[in-house]
Amino acid sequence: MGISFNTPATVILANGSFPTHEIPLSLLRRTTYLCCCDRAGMTAIQKGYMPDAIVGDGDSLPENFRQRYAAIFHHVAEQDDNDLTKATRFVIAKGFKNIVYLGATGKREDHTLANISLLGYYHKCLGVEAMMVTDKGWFVAAGGCRTFKAFPRQQVSVFNINCTKLQGKGLRWDLYPFSSLWQGTLNEAEDSSFEINGDGEYLIYQTFEAK
């Protein structure tokens, strides 16, 4: 997929639930570039992580904080995009295309759903290879025929975005072009990899632990 847990990548930290699992924390420690969405910059600094950039409209940042970190704060006033997309466009302009999103889930459920759904947009329209990592697993956006590393009994969910044809190999249950998001959830890998073949875009979720 262009990103692995063993290779440091650009991290965008959102203002959802701060990671507690060792895998997302290790990605945060080893990142080559840390870009924080608005108030997530305050959280990162409080946790001992110094951002390379803080991006957003600044509406959730105290004025004294904005002044203290003015050198790394990049104000984006427009309201057509959320802070996650503003940060994504910012790092793309820096030349980064492999992005790991942390802290993008938890807290408000509408923000969580919006952030997850944006992965498909980033992949298709912005050309980003992205991974959204939580404390339980990770999401990736993909399209066409792709092979994913896995392990036996790993829990896998497939969310169809716009495929009219959708097939899989190496999963416990067959795939088809699901018309509702829930229909592709709670599948299971049978071996060390599985394949998805679709004529459009889809999201994959994989857990850190086997069932």
63: CATH? 3.40.50.10240
What does the pLDDT read at residue 47? 96
Q: How confident is the model at residue 77 (pLDDT cuts 50, 70, 90)?
A: confident
104 lies in the same domain as 159: no
Q: Which of 135, 153, 174 is the last residue of a domain?
A: 135
What does the pLDDT read at residue 60? 84
Q: How confident is the model at residue 59 (pLDDT cuts 50, 70, 90)?
A: confident
What does the pLDDT read at residue 4? 67
- Asked if residue 5 has pLDDT above 80, the reply is no
Average pLDDT over residues 32-53: 96
Report how far apart, in Å, the C-alpha atoms of 70 and of each of 42, 52, 54, 60, 95 are: 13, 12, 9, 15, 22
Look up the domain containing 146 and give its range. Answer: 141-210
Looking at the 3D structure of the chain, how many domains does it have? Answer: 2
Answer with the residue of higher pLDDT: 81 or 39.
Answer: 39
Tell me how far apart the alpha carbons of residues 141 and 9 are, in angstroms, rounded to a whole number. Answer: 17
Residue 3 in domain: no
115 lies in the same domain as 165: no
Average pLDDT over residues 164-192: 96
90 lies in the same domain as 20: yes
Report the chain's mean pLDDT, rounded to a whole number: 93
127 lies in the same domain as 174: no
Residue 4 in domain: no
95 lies in the same domain as 145: no
Write out pLDDT tens, residues 103-123: 999 989 999 999 999 999 999
73 lies in the same domain as 100: yes
Total count of residues recorded for the chain: 211
Cβ(40)–Cβ(65) under 8 Å? Answer: no
Q: Which of 103, 135, 167 is the last residue of a domain?
A: 135
Average pLDDT over residues 60-70: 91
Residue 33 in domain: yes
- Asked if residue 3 has pLDDT above 70, the reply is no
Q: Which of 94, 111, 135 is the last residue of a domain?
A: 135
129 lies in the same domain as 175: no
What does the pLDDT read at residue 81? 86
- Asked if residue 125 has pLDDT above 60, the reply is yes
205 lies in the same domain as 145: yes
Q: How confident is the model at residue 1 (pLDDT cuts 50, 70, 90)?
A: very low
Average pLDDT over residues 81-100: 94
> What percent of the chain lies above the pLDDT cut of 70?
97
125 lies in the same domain as 49: yes
Q: Angle, to 10 degrees, between the axis of helix 83-93 and the axis of helix 109-125?
A: 30
- Asked if residue 2 has pLDDT above 80, the reply is no
Answer whether 0.85 is exceeded by the pTM. Answer: yes
Which residues on adjacent β-strands are paired with residue 102? 13
127 lies in the same domain as 146: no
